[in-house]
Structure 1
Amino acid sequence: MKIKALDHLVLTVADMSATIEFYTKVLGMQLQTFGDNRHALHFGAQKINLHQKGAEILPNAKRATCGSADLCLLTDTPLPEVLRYLQACGVAVVHDDDGEFIVPRTGAMGKIRSIYVRDPDGNLLEISRYE
């Protein structure tokens, strides 16, 4: 067997409305409602399914908890523009030890530059662009 791609992942959230608002209004993802009033955030060829804490869909992660994810999301937008946009939206941007907001990292396909923020549950979101 060979895995070829990631289709979706699941985030367990404390406040469904706050999460949906952040991911749709700030990050531009599209809200998708499906099944028995389930919610997902669609972007590109992927989606993030949302589970309400305490009412997770079965089967679910053995230790489903809010704020434990660390995700890297790719953008085509130049990172200085992303940084200005996030700051204009009032989103706190995490800086490194030197006070830098845009930092070099390594992605699945090579060198990237990244900006870090946290969603309403405290999940770490790395917004990156390949060099």
Structure 2
Amino acid sequence: MIPRLARHQRGITLIGLLFWAIVISFLGLIAMRVFPTLNEYWTIQRTVRKVAHEGGTTVPEIRAAFERQKQIEYSITSISGKDLDVTKVNDQIVVSFAYDKEIELFGPVYLLIKYSGSSR
């Protein structure tokens, strides 16, 4: 006869443990690959806002100011000053940008992230 406690035991099986280890490892891999691109996006967003408010009044001045800031912020590698779209809305300069970032996860599997933002 099986003791009463043995019939009600619960726990994780080896297969369940392996499954969750694989899922958590995959999510960790994605997070490690995506976080640097998010950090770069946030830096670009901060730089674009700063340049729109302090960079100048003409398109070449704003692009040159972005390039100067880019040299200071070493993490910006995805875009340059020529990739910025500079417009004027209600006498306010609006600087916007958009770019794609392709991240290799493993083998032929890539993750494509489309970043865009503006100084507004």
Report the TM-score when normalising by structure 1: 0.26
- Tell which structure's C-alpha radius of gyration is larger: 2
As a proportion of its length, which structure holds more helix? 2
